[in-house]
Amino acid sequence: MTVRIRLARLDDLPSIMHTENSCFGEESFDTSVVHAFLVRKDSFVLVAVDDASVIGVAMCHCSERLSRGRIASVAVVGNHQGKGVGTTLIEACEREFRKRGITRFTLEAALDNVRAVRTYLSNGYRIMCTINDYYSHGRGAYYMEKDVTMEGKRVKVKVS
Ligand SMILES: CC(C)(COP(=O)(O)OP(=O)(O)OC[C@H]1O[C@@H](n2cnc3c(N)ncnc32)[C@H](O)[C@@H]1OP(=O)(O)O)[C@@H](O)C(=O)NCCC(=O)NCCS
């Protein structure tokens, strides 16, 4: 399998919606929201493409004011999960953020979404806090963050 990651175009919208719906069902973003991610200057969408088909999607928002990039959604179609596509998408999002001068990345993951939380932890994200009632049906979320400017730095802590 040769997977290529590229910035999504407007004509990818049906394939993106198909991927989103297959992964998130009733919790998928609406088409209008995905459309906004595609056209707004402060956001971008990446697709993972195998031959001609979209097998994964990542949607991101950039806050230059806060110097923070938020990965709003990562989705890999069922039969392609567990093969490194999600990790490749996350790495590509981070490269795209860095091109825009952003080195602090954030995301949310449902408390019970073990696979997603493991994926983010193994990509260097840390759990910062939990958010109650973040998703539908009262499901809570972890708020996770990765700050590449802190990587490898020692922080002095004074204990009194
Ligand atoms: C979460 C998701 C994006 C991860 O993408 P993926 O391509 O399956 O993940 P990868 O193959 O890159 O694996 C990354 C990590 O996930 C974990 N993982 C992968 N397959 C797993 C499985 N079947 N069971 C448990 N953990 C698994 C592993 O810890 C792996 O880390 P490793 O490098 O230490 O092995 C994907 O599973 C998905 O689309 N899920 C449905 C939608 C979703 O929940 N998105 C996240 C919303 S916050």
Does residue 142 register a pLDDT over 90? yes
To test the pocket of ligand 1, the residue of 19, 79, 94, 119 to mutate (highest count of ligand atoms within 8 Å of its CB) is: 119
160 vs 56, residue with greater confidence: 56
84 lines ligand 1 (CB under 6 A): yes
| Cβ-contact 62, 69 below 8 angstroms | yes
Query: What pLDDT, on the 0 to 100 scale, is given for residue 140?
Result: 96
87 lines ligand 1 (CB under 6 A): yes
Beta-carbon contacts of residue 92 (< 8 Å; ≥ 6 apart) = 5, 46, 58
Least confident of 8-12, 77-81, 141-145, 154-158: 154-158
Which one is the CATH code of 3-105: 3.40.50.1100, 1.10.600.10, 3.40.47.10, 3.40.630.30? 3.40.630.30
Query: What pLDDT, on the 0 to 100 scale, is given for residue 151?
Result: 72
115 lines ligand 1 (CB under 6 A): yes
- Domain locations along the chain: 3-105
Alpha helices in 28-151 (DSSP H): 31-39, 85-99, 114-122
